Structure 1
Amino acid sequence: MSASRLPFPLTLTGDGIVLREWRSEDLDDLVAMLDEPDIARWTPMPSPFDVEAGIAYLKRAHQGRVSGQRIQLAITEDGGRPLGEVLLFGVDAGLREAELGYLVGARDRRRGLASGSLSLLSSYARSTLQLTRLLLRIDPSNTASAAVARRCGYRLTGEPPILQVGPHGPSSLDTWELLDVRGGSRLDRLKNVAARRYGRRT
């Protein structure tokens, strides 16, 4: 994988979810989805999010995709109406790491779409892009997003918070990291290696 060329176009499917590229005809659904208080509170989106903001957003998304700088896909159930978005960006090929993000529109929350989409893109990043360190940045007050991260196998790293400035002012973001695909901490994995080698159970 090149640090500057992520695959485009891309469609990912699994568990009743279809992640697809954004389209110009998604504009009305995009504006309706992103023009709401929780989106403005937890993301640096413009607020209010109007048609002009939507046009600019789709333009930036397309530019980022064709240039291979990021993966930015609409969350759908069947390839049709967008219900949310999942992203992968900030790829460092040397460190083999990247950051992910996700959001789901208000009327489609609590249906497992965020966790399903995050798991789908995380799996693709690990297996196909060969990235070994996948990160999330989450405001500690955003308990719903933290719950999604936890369900998908991400855990807090304890790294210093990162400052983000949005329409509602600055916020501090905690860093979460996806656990090793085999699960558990590094210490747990070392214990299990010892158990296999010396016949001890952990």
Structure 2
Amino acid sequence: MAADALPYPLRLQGSGIVLREWQPDDLEDLVTMLDEPAIARWTPMPSPFDIEAGLAYLKRAQTGRLSGRRIQLAITVDGGEPLGEMLLFGVTGDRREAELGYLVGARHRRRGLATAALTLLSGYACGTLGLGRLLLRIDPCNTASTSVARRCGYRLTGEPPIAQAGPYGPTSLDTWEYVEGLPGPRRQRLRNVAARRYGRRP
């Protein structure tokens, strides 16, 4: 692994959750979690998501982790059953910027898991990894995901939307930036952009 590769293996714990590496034994839970139209609607996941898709997904995850190109961890409460996933990818060569993503299975939503996981990995990325700019890309119609982003300290950047194709049609992704640790004027500018789109929020 290259000296500047992302750390592997990795286990992060805090806020009542554990983020851990995917394992081959997770296949059945992974397929159950990702074979859902609501996930396919907002992500480039294949749909339907079957055993073959699950095997390919776990293989790509392992390859990406071993090469140090991304962080891809299962969201759990105790290190056991995977309830969702957190990703960090697209790290620039100077380690100044990266993109994050998250999802939670249908049976496990409305428990604060995505908020806890995004908070945990964002803090690790800024603190331990020293990444300067963390981004999310979210379709504005995905209100559950935008609510998580706001709760975790992300704000709209005002950058042009990014088109993305998916099995349920195209989506248009807004860019959100983590504002923790940003200089005051830039932090306020991002808050103002978000306020124009969603209204004033605390």
Q: Do structure 1's residue 172 and structure 2's residue 191 form an aligned pair? A: no
The answer to whether the 8 A contact 1:159-1:175 is kept is: yes
CA RMSD of superposed structures (Å): 1.8
With over 3 angstroms needed to count, the CA separation of the structure-2 counterparts of 1:71 and 1:95, relative to structure 1, is: closer
Residue equivalent to 1:42? 42
After superposition, the Cα gap between the structure-2 partners of 1:81 and 1:48, relative to the gap in structure 1 and judged at 3 Å, is same
Normalising by structure 2, what TM-score? 0.89
> Where has structure 1 moved over 4 Å in runs of 4 or more?
182-185
Q: Secondary structure at the match of 1:169?
A: coil
1:14 partner letter: G
How high is the TM-score relative to the length of structure 1?
0.89
What's the CA shift string for 1:67-91, capped at 9, x where partnerless?
0000000000000000000000000
1:19-168 paired onto structure 2 within 5 Å: 19-94=19-94, 96-168=96-168
Task: Say which one has the larger Rg.
Answer: 1
CA distance in 1, matches of 2:134, 2:187: 19
Structure 2: runs of 5 or more not aligned: 190-202
Note the C-alpha offset of 1:94: 2.2
Alignment-derived partner of residue 200 in structure 2: none
Counterpart CA distance in 2 for 1:78 and 1:102 is: 18
Deviation of 1:122 after TM superposition, in Å, equals 0.3
Q: Aligned letter for 1:104? A: V
Contact 1:3 1:91 in 2 (8 A): no
* Identical residues among aligned pairs (%): 72
Residues 97 and 133, structure 2, Cα contact 8 Å, conserved in 1: yes
AA at the equivalent of 1:129 = L
